[in-house]
Amino acid sequence: MDNGSSSYSRYLAGDDSAMGDLVREYKDGLTLFLNSFTNDLFDAEELMEETFLRLAYKKPKYSGKSSFRTWLYAIARNLAIDYLRKRKRASAVSTEGMYDIPSGQNVEEDYLLEERKAIIHKLMQKLKDEYRQVICLIYIEGFSNSETAQIMHKNNRQITNLLYQAKKALRSELEKEGITYAGL
């Protein structure tokens, strides 16, 4: 798939199976990204579904100014912000949320990897929302700094500074727990 734009074009031309291709390609990463906003996997899944429903029914125009993936994540981000505004008016924001961690074949290594990921995820919940989002987009989803800047409505320099601060804050949280992590 050439980053989703061809599937979206096929969908707009009447090929309903193309939307299924888009969902299969982007649903997991999009859910994880949205979870960085909501801290609730159920809400993140709902927002992911709403993102694809928006594509399916409102059929927004994809101009090609950015990659399809960047455009899709920007739509999801806007939906998440709207959702949080509505939820803030209704009740307090939930601080608990976990996502499924994929497992490999070695049970002991899988367990240790799962524990490390759970600790990092738990500590990331202590970070500012923007820090969690920039870490998720760049390190988990693999977006470039410029794509992340488009999604988060910031410039490249702001993203570089935000990423630096996010890594510094995460490193500090890890050190508080007595964990050293060479990747930061």
Q: Over the stretch 64-87, which tens digit does the pLDDT of each residue have?
A: 888 899 999 999 999 998 888 888
Instruction: Give residue 22's Cα distance to chain centre.
Output: 16
Confidence at residue 184, expressed as pLDDT on a 0 to 100 scale: 58
Domain ranges of the chain: 5-90, 107-176
**At a CB cut-off of 8 Å and minimum separation 6, what does 58 contact?**
none
- Please state which architecture CATH assigns to domain 107-176: Orthogonal Bundle (1.10)
pLDDT score at 92: 44
Q: DSSP per residue over 106-148, as a string?
A: -HHHHHHHHHHHHHHHHHHTTS-HHHHHHHIIIIIS---HHHH
Write out pLDDT tens, residues 151-170: 999 999 999 999 999 989 98
CATH topology of domain 5-90: Rna Polymerase Sigma Factor; Chain: A (1.10.1740)
How far apart CA 159 and CA 138 sit, in angstroms, is: 10
The two structure tokens encoding residue 146: 């410029």
For 11-56, the pLDDT digits (tens) are 889 988 989 999 999 999 999 899 888 888 899 999 999 999 999 8
What pTM was estimated for this model as a whole? Answer: 0.63
What value, to the nearest 5°, has the Cα angle with vertex 18 and ends 15 and 21?
A: 165
Q: Cα–Cα–Cα angle for 93, 99, 102, nearest 5°?
A: 170
Sign of the torsion formed by the C-alpha atoms of 28, 29, 32 and 34: negative
